[in-house]
Structure 1
Amino acid sequence: MKLLGTMRIEEDTLYIGGVSTKELAKEYSTPLYVIDEQHVRNVCREYLRNFKVKENGNRVTYAGKAFLPLEMCKIINEEGLCLDVVSGGELYTAYKSGFPMEKVLFHGNNKTIEEIKMGISLGVGRFVADNFYELNTINEFAKKENKVVNVYIRITPGIEAHTHDYIKTGQIDSKFGFTLINDGVVNAVKEILKLENIKLMGLHAHIGSQIFDVDPFVDEVEVMFNIMNDVRSKLGIELPELDLGGGFGIYYTKEDKPKNPKVFCDAILNKAEEMSKKLEYPMPKLIIEPGRSIIGNAGTTLYTVGSIKEIPEVRKYISVDGGMTDNIRPSLYRADYECAIANKMNCKEEELVTVAGKCCESGDILISDAKLPKVESGDILAVATTGAYGYSMSSNYNKIPRPAVVMVKDGNSRVVCKRQSYEDLLASEII
C-alpha cells in the first residue's frame, strides 16, 4: 500500500497524523474512518496557490458531495475555499457550520421547491441552474422575497473524458445542464434576460470525475470560451465568471498516474489566457471545483479482521467488520483500492486474499486479490484513499450503524462524526 499524506511506519505499525492506527482502532473501535487533517489543508493550499486566487480573483470551490461533515465545512472555510452543495441537506450542513452563504454554490439537476426556497432565504452566492423549470422557479420565489439571485447556467459541452460511464457528465447525452444543440445555451440566456429576479453571472460545466489527462480540461476551456463568445455575438452580453467544474484524478492503485494540482491549474489558466486574447474576450473570474482530489487521499478506513475462509486451490477470504455499508464504490463502480495490515506493516507479503464485507450480499467484496502478510483474526486492515465518497455514500443496509469519523493531526485525534448506536438507527421509526 502506498503511503500517502502524513502516513508513516513505526515499529511495524501504520501511523497517520502522528497517531498509531492500532491505538485508534482500540480507542474508537472499527470500522473507523480516519482523516488526515494536515493532508487536507496542504492540498487546499496547493490549489489556492496554483490557481492564482489572490492574484486574479479566481476561486477554488470544494465539491462537498465527496465528504461534508460540519468539521469539513469549518476546515474548508478556514483555508479560504468556497463550497458547492447539491442538496438541501448539504446546504443546511454548511449553514449550521457557520460557512459564509455568499461563498456557496448550489448545484443539482432537480432541486425541490423547498431546496430552492431555502437557498434563496439563506442567501447562497450562486445557483447553478440546469433547466428552464428551475430558472422560472428561482425567479418566482426570489420575487416573493424581493431578491435578485445570482445564477450560473450549466452546460454539457460534449467532451469525452475517458472515465467510468456512471461518472461522465460532460457529454451531450447527460441528465445535467443545457446542451449545445439548437442554440440551447443562447436560448437559456435569452430566457434569463426576461427574468427580473435573476442575474446571470456566468456559465458552468463539469466533464466528469477521476480524470488523469490534462487535454479534456484544455478542450473544455476552449469550448466554454467559444460559447461565451457566441452569446456575446448573438445577445451582446459578456459574462464575468466561468466555472469549469472539477474531476481531477487521484491515486487509488499503482495503475493510476495522477498529476499534481499545479499541472491542471497551469493548463487551465494558460488556455484561458490564450482564448481571452484570441477572442478579445475580457478574462472572466475562473472557478474550479475539486472534491475527491482534496479529501480522497486524506481518508483511510480501519477494519478488524474476523472470519477467515480458505477454499483450497480457489480463493482465501478474509472478512472484516464493515463493507459495502461504509464503502459502496467497489460494488457500485468496481472501484479498486490498496490495503495493508496496519499492525504488520514490515511483514513480508505472503498470501493473496479477497477482502469480504459483513453484509448479507455476495457482492459485498471490498478488494479482490490483495497481497498481504499472513492474516489472522483480530488484525487491523487499513484501506487507503477512502476519504471521498466513503462516509458520504454510507448506508444502514442490514441495519448496520454508520462508523465514526476521526480527524488526526500532530499526534492528536478527535471525533468529528460519532458512531451510530442501535438507538440512533431507530430514532426516526415509529411503532
Structure 2
Amino acid sequence: MTPWLVRGLLLPAHERLRGRATLAELAALRRGEQHPDAVYRLRREKLAALLEHCRDRVPFYRARLPANGALEVTDFPVLERDTVREHGDALCSDHYPGRLLPSSTGGSSGRPLTFWTDPVKETRHNAHKLRFRTWFGVRPGDRQVDFWGSPVELNKSSRFRRFKDQYLLNQALCSAHDLSPDRLEAYLRFLGRFRPHLVYGYPTVIARVARHAADHPRLLGGWRPDLVVCTSEMLYPQLREAITAGLGAPPVANEYGSRDAGLTAHECREGRLHIAAEHVWVEVDAPDASGVGDLLITNLDGFGMPLIRYRVGDRGRVSAGACPCGSPLPVLDRLEGRRNDFLVGAEGRRIHGSAANYVLREVPQVVQYRLVQRTDRSLDIQVVADADWGEAEARQVAEGLRRTLGMEVPVRFERVSVIPPSASGKYRWVESEALEP
C-alpha cells in the first residue's frame, strides 16, 4: 500500500477503531522536543500524579504507604518480578476508569510473567516508538517488516490480521523461529518485493538474514532499508557490523525496553540511547564505582497496573551530559545485560558477558555460540563453526576466556550444527549459574 495513503487515511482510522490516539500523542511528543523545560515539567507532574494514584487506588501500595503527606518515588519499595507474580491482583487499580488488557512477557529470563496493561499505556508506548523512528526519517505508514518470535504476537497472527497488517497498514511479520536456508532465501525474496523502509526485530535474527543477503545479494533486487531497529537482545558490535554489511549499510539503532516496563530508550543518529523521559522514570539502584547499577523503571503511563521502581533485571548508567544530536532527552550511556549474563572471575569478580563475546569474535571460524558458566565456574560452550574449526581454534578460545576470567577453569566445547532460540525466539549468548542468588 502507498505509504501516504496508510499514513493519511488507513492508519488513523485503524487507531480510532482501536480507541487509541497514537498519532495525536506522536504529534505532542514532537512538539515537546522543542521545549526541554516542558518535557521535564511534564514528567515530574506525571510522576506525582501516578504516586498519588497508587496511594489512593492501588491496594498493594495503599497498604505500604503513609495515608497523608507528600510522596517521593523513593518512598516506594523496589518491585521485583516475583512480587508481581504473587500480588498481581493487588497491584491493579481498584478504580481504573477503562478496561485492563491481559499481557505477558516472552519468558526469555526463564519464566514468563503475566500482567495487566491498559490502552493509554499501550498508546503512548507506540507513540514513543514512532517518535524515535522519525529521527531517522521513517514515518508512520512506511512499510515495515518485523522479525519476531514472541508467541504473544505469533499466536495473535490470524490470517485476517496478517492480511490487514501487511496490505492495509504496511506491517509484515516474519517468524524468527525458522531460519533454515530455504526460509532465509524466501525472506530475502520477500524483502526485495515488499521493499520495507524499516526492518525491526531481534539482532541475532536480522544478522542471520543479513549474512545470507551478503552471500546472495541478487535476491534483494537492489533494496536497502532506511533503518534497522534492533530490540529485545544485546546488540553486540559484530551483529551491528553484519547487519550493516549485508543490508547495504543502513543506520542500525538499538531500542531498549520490555513488554512489562514499556519502551525505555532508543538510539539516536549519534549512537546514544535516549530515555523516553515522558513515558518512563529511570533510577539506578546501588550503583558501583563507575555508576552502573540495577535499573529500576517506573512507567509513568501505567495507571491500570502501576509498576513502581520495577527491577527489570538489566544494569546501566544514566548520563547527565548533553548529546550532540540535540535531543533534550536524558541518555542511558551504558547498558548491560541481565544479572545472569555476567560471568564470575577470580576472587568473585563479576565480568560482563560481552567480554566473552570479544574473545569468540576474534576467531573467524565461529559462526554462533552459546556459553554457560556452571556453578563451579567451569565453562560449557556450544559452537556452530565452519569447516576450518579445529583444536587450535578451541585452544585460542579457551585461553582467551581464562585470561578474561583471570583464573584457570575447565572449558568444554560441543560442536553443533544449530543453536535453537528460546521459546520467545531470542538467543542467549552468555548465561551464568555461578552468581550468588
- What is the TM-score of this pair, normalised by structure 2? 0.28
